[in-house]
Structure 1
Amino acid sequence: MQMFSILTVNIGAASRERAEVMLRWLAARPEDVFILTETSAGAGTTYLLDKFRQAGFAVVHTPDATGDRGTALVSRVSVTDTLSGHFAGVSIPGRVASALLATEPAVAVLGVYVPSRDRSVEKTEKKQAFINSLLARLDALPDELRERLVLGGDYNVIARTHQPLHPGFLAFEFGLLEAIEAHGFVDAHERCSPGEQVYSWIGRTGDGYRYDYFHVGQALGAHIMGCAYLQETREQRLTDHAAVTLQLDVTVQSRLETSDPADTTEADAMTLF
């Protein structure tokens, strides 16, 4: 059986220059699907997604009309459905990206970028509305689809069991993880490394936060083969978040014909004419 893998990383609204470095790093990765969070309306995101499209990857991305940050899903596995109808009710559509992939069993992927907030009422309400609308859409999914769903991205929340338990998080933020797991989703890292506290973002004071996750639907729980946090993206200053990678023992039925998105040979040649 062929291994199937997914990676999620917050690209931090990459500038055009940083996007070039990020693209080279992603192009060297073996994963079949990339979930890119904190995309933007800037030149960096445009460059990244255009390069993937030109290389033959499937790209699912809904730019926000207001310029808000968002999520993109990039796949070298054929996409059989974007599942857009199932998640149309999310309060900020550009912050989710979903696809049903040509695998056996069929895997659905939902990438999410939950809004961050400060102490202001406006940003708190924005975050709560997004979480509530996301959970409502998960509630409304057919059971058979929910059980084959891989949920991943930057949730911008921590668990009540987080060590250290940072102050300032509200009940609805803890409630996101609790509601996800109440639906039978498996925390992939916890399944692979029980009780191990890991961090994906480090604050200015040096405190660590686990903001980035993979959760796997109940029918796929037994298929989890590995989950790891890759600190090299922070250490190499590609972004201020660690990447997270997930491996599942499912079969890929249809791969797209893709080339190296970081190979500029063809683009350089075209500029000569």
Structure 2
Amino acid sequence: MPIVITTVNVNGIRAAVKQRNERNEGMLRWLSETPSDVIVLQEIRASHKQAHDALAPALADGWHLTMTESSVKGHAGVGVLSRSEPAAVRTGFGSPEFDGLGRYVEADFTAPGVDGVDELTVASLYLPKGAADTPQDAAKFEEKKRFLDEFGAYLAGLAGGDRGVVVGGDWNIAPAEADIKNWKGNLKSPGFLPHEREWVAGLLASGWSDVVRDLYPDDAGPYSWWSWRGKAFDNDAGWRIDYQFANAPMAAVASAAVVDRAQAYDLRWSDHAPVTVTFG
């Protein structure tokens, strides 16, 4: 029996569940139709109570929400929505600087139904956006570098073993030229800086798999984020910054992936689209 995992940056859970116009019923409609078993959320930007209130209809239908909010009100926040209740939950990755900022949470599931995988950890990540290496942006640039150093070391220890692990999220890094429509115009942009792409390459070399890229090696994108401004969405001028990294047991059974891109600009309930992978 396959397990279906989705990652999506909701860009504020309270906004995502609201109906924006007569054609768009928001995230709740999407939740009622998705085949996903586990959904990892980023940028919830709400307290536990606010998030549970916003998702009340879905929770009443049997979804389980575990999340961590940021100590900075209205900022970040990550969570895991699942059809079965997790066996265990862990917040953060052991960082005194970042664990209170709502950027990482893990949920464990037993007997996930995937051949050869008896235990599964699914994690949600919201990696800092960072900034270019300029005097004006020095603080954000250095913050992201510190996060990459600490989190990279943590991931190195998470990849091994027989337990299946999938880390989905808004990684805020486009790994390669195929992952940005206008890569030439973004060579100095945060999210496409050389040290950021080298960091992702290091993860891939250490045993992690970018399962969407592995399944569709020759595709441009598929993009998962488009600016609200201009005609970026209409022209599909996007970035692939939302993805799922799997360790060897899960990468071996990744069988399909899709980006659930809205059919029109005014049907979007976030500036990101859900990225769904079927394992098994």
Q: TM-score range by the shorter chain?
A: 0.7 to 0.9
Question: How many pairs does the alignment contain?
Answer: 246
1:101 aligns with 2:132: no
Pairwise mapping of residues 226-265 of structure 1 onto structure 2 (< 5 A)? 226-232=256-262, 235=265, 236-249=267-280
Alpha-carbon distance change, 193 to 141 in structure 1, aligned in 2, over 3 angstroms: closer
CA contact (8 A) 2:172 2:241 kept: yes
Identity %: 26
Please report how far the alpha carbon of residue 131 of structure 1 lies from its aligned counterpart in structure 2 after TM superposition: 2.2
SS for the counterpart of 1:107 is: strand
1:78 aligns with 2:82: no
SS for the counterpart of 2:252 is: helix
User: How many Å separate the matches in 1 of 2:263 and 2:168?
Assistant: 17
SS for the counterpart of 1:247 is: strand
Deviations 1:45-104 (A, max 9, x none): 45334444444433221111222312111111331222447x233743311121111214
Amino acid at match of 2:197: F
SS for the counterpart of 2:144 is: helix
Partner of 1:201: 225
User: How many Å separate the matches in 1 of 2:171 and 2:84?
Assistant: 25
Structure 2 length-normalised TM: 0.78
Partner of 1:34: 39
Partner of 1:11: 10
SS for the counterpart of 2:152 is: helix
Please report how far the alpha carbon of residue 142 of structure 1 lies from its aligned counterpart in structure 2 after TM superposition: 6.9
User: How many Å separate the matches in 2 of 1:116 and 1:244?
Assistant: 19
CA contact (8 A) 1:154 1:212 kept: yes
Alpha-carbon distance change, 142 to 231 in structure 1, aligned in 2, over 3 angstroms: closer
Amino acid at match of 1:136: A
User: How many Å separate the matches in 2 of 1:154 and 1:233?
Assistant: 22
**What value does the CA root-mean-square deviation take over the aligned residues?**
2.6
Please report how far the alpha carbon of residue 188 of structure 1 lies from its aligned counterpart in structure 2 after TM superposition: 1.2
Of 178-187 and 27-36, the range deviating more from structure 2: 178-187
SS for the counterpart of 2:7 is: strand
User: How many Å separate the matches in 2 of 1:46 and 1:117?
Assistant: 29
Partner of 2:63: 57
Alpha-carbon distance change, 17 to 230 in structure 1, aligned in 2, over 3 angstroms: closer
SS for the counterpart of 2:278 is: strand
Unaligned runs of 5+ in 1: 250-273
CA contact (8 A) 2:125 2:170 kept: yes
Please report how far the alpha carbon of residue 180 of structure 1 lies from its aligned counterpart in structure 2 after TM superposition: 2.1
- Within the candidate set 12, 25, 32, 2:30 is matched to 25
Unaligned runs of 5+ in 2: 20-25
User: How many Å separate the matches in 2 of 1:121 and 1:47?
Assistant: 38
CA contact (8 A) 2:159 2:165 kept: no
CA contact (8 A) 1:158 1:174 kept: yes
Alpha-carbon distance change, 196 to 231 in structure 1, aligned in 2, over 3 angstroms: same
Partner of 1:117: 130
Please report how far the alpha carbon of residue 12 of structure 1 lies from its aligned counterpart in structure 2 after TM superposition: 0.8
CA contact (8 A) 2:17 2:27 kept: yes
